[in-house]
Structure 1
Amino acid sequence: MSSPDTVIAALRSEYDLLAQQVAAFSDDDLAGPSAASEWDISEVLSHLGSGAEINRATLQAALDGTAPGGREFNESVWDRWNAMSGRERADGFVAANRELTELYESLDAETRENLRIDMGFLPAPIDVATAGRMRLNELAMHSWDIRVASDVNATLAPQAVRELLHGEPDLTAWTSKPEHLDGESLVLHVTTSEPESDFALNLTTPVSTSFEVADKYDGTLTLPAEAWLRLKVGRLAPQHTPTGIVTTGAADLDLLRKVFPGY
């Protein structure tokens, strides 16, 4: 399990990479398509910027010992960002995400270990590392949505991959659609590289992962860790699939793309 320090460092790295790219965008670039099919690039930045603002308010509420803003506050933030121009969204993303990152970085060692954050939609408050990792997942995947618009071979940043590969929360059940299995139950042995890992993917209801890999399984899937993370969130379309992925038995990429359609 990674520490809050390494999660916060990955948040900083991911933000710096995207902010540098955004600074070079023209208005035409901002209006161009992203890999998030329903959003142009400015709309992805609007999603990330409003999310940063809400996450910062939630973290500050935990520090102040108050309740998070709730649905009404979130909707007011979304409405304001939706009304922005493309340039305002880009500039706003840079500012809002910088403020969130700096607030995380300002936490002292004791706070990083002991603070519990009420996200407002989870059954119980979570620790700093888990909250930061949830934000990192959102930032990393949508940063990829932007980068891949100009680079079909874009990959996730290595620092984010290390934090997200097996860090809590495990979103496998949330991102999957087991109804596409048509009643089948399969167990796949997944092997990743960069970093190396072995685990079982249990294709049933609910879909889950486990480090208990049985001697018998229905297929194997060998791929880079960053490709596995993109597969789980519907970002491993054929044109964005790296060479060298190996499947055997029931481990069919077309089936897995249906089970993990994305969001």
Structure 2
Amino acid sequence: MNTQLPAEIAALRNSHTRLSALVSNLDGDGVRAPSYASEWSIAQVLSHLGSQAEIAGLALTAGLAGGLAGADSPDGTAGAAPEREEMEPIWAAWNARTPEAQVTDSLEGTAHLLTRLEGLSPEQADVFRVTMFLGEVDLATYIRLQLAEYATHTWDVAVMLDPAATIAADAIEPMLSQVAVFMGFVHPPAGEPFQVRVTTTDPARDYVLSMADKVSLAEHDDAGGDVDGAIELPAEAFVRLFYGRLDLDHTPPVRESGTRGLADLRQVFPGF
């Protein structure tokens, strides 16, 4: 088993524990109150996470079955995650719940998924393969996808109760590893190409973020070329920037230089 997996599953468990605590004392009005996700209430955020846990459970089953079937094959095989037509009834069922049920059922559903993940054997973890929107992924990538989703939306709730809230520290490094992969799904901005050097702390990273015919993120030493600006900020803030959650009211101290910076990047990453 990948030695990082237990820590990343624990980070997902910790985000679930945090979210459970955040909503535990909310009454009916509280769960109907707005979340940071502009179109969703707090209950709707949990509804989204509940449907994601249900869909992720189906993908987990498929990935385990596919991996075991291909364990003796040189090329292996992968299970298939649910397609959109399979997901739509799940979304509809969650949307039909009351806000109170969305909250309680979501927490229970994610707890069930976590119990399954925590119970995987090293052999199951090693053979797991599932085809998702990124293509065929292993268990480490699958878990990071769940963690990124859960930790980000937990922040969507936390920040409405505490404006100084941040994404959980134990989620940041796994989320950083996925950001470069997700860059390929970002639409490049119109206008002249530009590059921004991004230096982070906690953990320390040194990137170049390029805006050209596509958006890409590379290690600074590998990127080459001149940059048009530079930003130094906590890694947690960089993760929130990518997810469209680094507005002016929720930005920690940042150092900027050059002609391109956060104002430009906020336009590239509007969030969801």
One of 233, 238, 242 as aligned partner of 1:232: 242
Change beyond 3 A, Cα 1:220–1:2: farther
Counting matched residue pairs gives: 257
Q: Percent identity over the alignment?
A: 37
- In the TM superposition, what whole-angstrom CA distance separates every residue of 1:62-108 from its partner, at most 9, and x where no partner exists? 22346444323211110110000110000011111001111111111
Matches of 2:62 and 2:19 in 1, distance apart?
27
- For residues 29-108 of structure 1, the aligned pairs below 5 Å read 29-65=30-66, 67-108=80-121
Q: Which residue of 2 aligns with 1:204?
A: 212
1:4–1:113 contact (8 Å) kept in structure 2: no
DSSP-derived class of the 2:203 partner: coil
User: Is 1:221–2:231 an aligned residue pair?
Assistant: yes
Q: How does 1:1-263 map to 2 (within 5 A)?
A: 3-65=4-66, 67-119=80-132, 121-122=133-134, 124-167=135-178, 170-174=181-185, 176-179=186-189, 182-211=190-219, 212-214=222-224, 216-242=226-252, 244-263=253-272
Does structure 1 conserve the Cα–Cα contact (< 8 Å) formed by 2:230 and 2:261? no
The 3-state SS of whatever aligns with 1:14 is helix
Unmatched 5+ stretches in structure 1: none
Return the alpha-carbon distance in structure 1 between the equivalents of residues 226 and 86 of structure 2.
Answer: 50
The CA RMSD measured in Å over matched residues stands at: 1.8
Q: What is the rounded CA distance, in whole Å, between the counterparts of 2:117 and 2:63 in structure 1?
A: 12
Q: TM-score, normalised by structure 2?
A: 0.89
- Amino acid in structure 2 at the alignment position of 1:61: A
- Checking the alignment, whether the CA contact within 8 Å between 2:180 and 2:216 is kept in structure 1 is no
Long gaps (5+) in structure 2: 67-78
Name the SS for the 2:192 alignment partner.
Answer: coil
Aligned counterparts of 2:3 and 2:217: Cα–Cα separation in 1: 18
| Contact 1:133 1:164 (8 Å CA) reproduced | yes
CA offsets 1:3-36 (integer angstroms, 9 cap, x no match): 3222212111111111122222211110000110
